């Protein structure tokens, strides 16, 4: 029997976030199916991460309005957490041992030939649940690979840990980042050329995403609206107006994200399941899709939807700009209702020569990184 090499992936697998878990699933599948690597997700949940995604985080009672919201919607939010946990159990091959610190991981990493950090915002040092563990800050016999980590909006790694972070990152055998801004930051910080590679979700075939999405959950025509937290009243109202004009209902997910506004205020239907499977299913079968997140944009393209990326301000998030530019989809950026018709009616190719070359480069990077 062939003795396969083994990889441990350290990423945001403890996050109750659709994009975080879908990119985790995608990277593991790619390693196993494309490179014959036995890959598992290192089951890491720091204390900070646990607090961020707890239904009742420490000190929540200090914010009466939020406390009342959580209590009133406890059952819905509890079910949301179950949906995310179900996805981890069913689709992520988590290590049997659970870790809360990188010291614990370092004592057990001899089982791996490769340690892979990424993707998603694992190197966003300003993220509320960032942890040094994501920079693999221990000496290891395993080959260290950074695959498409994002620095988020972090433009500088200077500070109290500047020298330590530089030491940790230079200890990687293969470095890459997910966005051009991250590349610029790391190029300057490390004094070396760090390549940009594609988010893992973009490398997995549509057929496999179809399998995870499953059979249609909502009958009839509907609009799927997905946002990281549905924060913009003007964008919520834009979707509501389009729904009324088209006489098509709107479905949304994740009750915990509706703290600032309520779905019923806009006539939206809060679907009774959340998490990655509901996200994929509602995305796949929707007639129209409205998104306000990086992975929302990714899957609107994977499932070839008529969609709009909603942007309240004039400045588009740089992570979105990166992907939009690769796909030539500037017309999909919508800031006001008058721009919707063009976005929805535009015939999209969902690809480009540049985008296909980008994916091919990303596969080549992974292939070379996995050679010893």
What pLDDT, on the 0 to 100 scale, is given for residue 313? Answer: 83
CA distance 68 to 64: 6
CA distance 102 to 350: 40
Q: What percentage of the chain has pLDDT greater than the value 70? A: 98
What pLDDT, on the 0 to 100 scale, is given for residue 56? Answer: 77
By C-alpha distance, which of 260, 271, 183 is closest to 222? 271
What pLDDT, on the 0 to 100 scale, is given for residue 158? Answer: 81
With beta carbons less than 8 A apart as the criterion, state whether 277 and 83 touch: yes
**Residues whose CB falls within 8 Å of the CB of residue 41, separated by 6 or more in sequence, listed in order:** 8, 9, 11, 13, 24, 28, 92, 93, 94, 95
Per residue in 237-294, pLDDT tens? 999 999 999 999 999 999 999 988 999 999 999 999 999 999 999 999 999 999 999 9
Does the pLDDT of residue 309 top 50, yes or no?
Answer: yes
Confidence of residue 66 (pLDDT cuts 50, 70, 90): confident
H/E element, 51:
helix 47-52
Q: Is 334 exposed, middle or buried (0-12, 13-18, 19+ CB in 10 A)?
A: buried
Which domains does the chain show, CATH number per domain? Answer: 6-203+357-369 (3.40.50), 214-352 (3.40.50.2000)
Per residue in 131-156, pLDDT tens? 999 999 999 999 999 999 999 888 88
By C-alpha distance, which of 125, 122, 116 is closest to 147? 116
Mean pLDDT across the stretch 199-205?
97
Does the pLDDT of residue 1 top 70, yes or no?
Answer: no
The Cα-based distances of 120 to 19, 104, 201, 206, 295 in angstroms read 8, 23, 10, 20, 10
232: left (phi over 0), alpha (psi -120 to 50) or beta: beta
What pLDDT, on the 0 to 100 scale, is given for residue 60? Answer: 66
With beta carbons less than 8 A apart as the criterion, state whether 43 and 98 touch: yes
Coil vs helix vs strand at 14 = coil
For the chain, what is the largest distance between any 2 Cα atoms, rounded to a whole number of angstroms? 62
Whether omega for the bond prior to residue 119 falls within 30 degrees of 0, making it cis, is yes
Full-model pTM: 0.95
């Amino acid at each position: 029997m062939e003795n396969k090499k083994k990889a441990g992936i350290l990423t945001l697998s403890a996050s109750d976030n659709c994009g975080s878990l879908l990119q985790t699933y995608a990277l593991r599948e790619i390693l196993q199916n494309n490179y014959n690597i036995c890959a598992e997700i290192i089951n890491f949940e720091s204390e900070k991460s646990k607090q961020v995604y707890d239904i009742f985080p420490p000190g929540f009672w200090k914010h009466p309005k939020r406390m009342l919201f959580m209590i009133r919607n406890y059952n819905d939010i509890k079910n949301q957490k179950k949906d995310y946990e179900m996805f981890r159990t069913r689709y992520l091959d988590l290590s049997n041992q659970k870790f809360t610190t990188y010291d614990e991981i370092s004592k057990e990493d001899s089982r791996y030939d490769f340690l892979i950090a990424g993707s998603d915002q694992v190197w966003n040092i300003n993220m509320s649940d960032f942890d040094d563990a994501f920079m693999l800050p221990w000496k290891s016999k395993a080959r260290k690979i950074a695959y498409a980590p994002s620095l988020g909006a972090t433009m500088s790694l200077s500070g109290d840990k500047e020298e330590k972070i530089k030491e940790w990152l230079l200890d990687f055998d293969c470095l890459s980042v997910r966005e051009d801004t991250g590349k610029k930051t790391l190029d300057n910080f490390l004094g070396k050329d760090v390549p940009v590679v594609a988010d893992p979700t973009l490398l997995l075939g549509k057929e496999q995403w179809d399998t995870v999405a499953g059979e249609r959950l909502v009958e009839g025509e509907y609009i799927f609206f997905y946002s990281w937290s549905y924060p913009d009243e003007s964008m919520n109202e834009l979707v509501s107006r389009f729904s009324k004009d088209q006489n098509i209902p709107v479905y949304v997910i994740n009750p915990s994200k509706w703290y600032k506004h309520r779905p019923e205020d806009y006539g939206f239907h809060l679907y009774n399941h959340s998490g990655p499977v509901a996200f994929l299913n509602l995305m796949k079968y929707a007639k129209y899709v409205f998104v306000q997140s990086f992975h929302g944009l990714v899957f609107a393209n994977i499932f070839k939807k008529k969609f709009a990326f909603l942007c309240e301000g004039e400045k588009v998030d740089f992570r979105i700009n990166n992907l939009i530019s690769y796909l030539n989809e500037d017309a999909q950026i919508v800031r006001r209702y008058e721009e919707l018709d063009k976005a929805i009616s535009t015939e999209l190719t969902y690809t480009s020569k540049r985008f296909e070359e980008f994916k091919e480069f990303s596969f080549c990077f992974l292939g070379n990184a996995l050679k010893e």
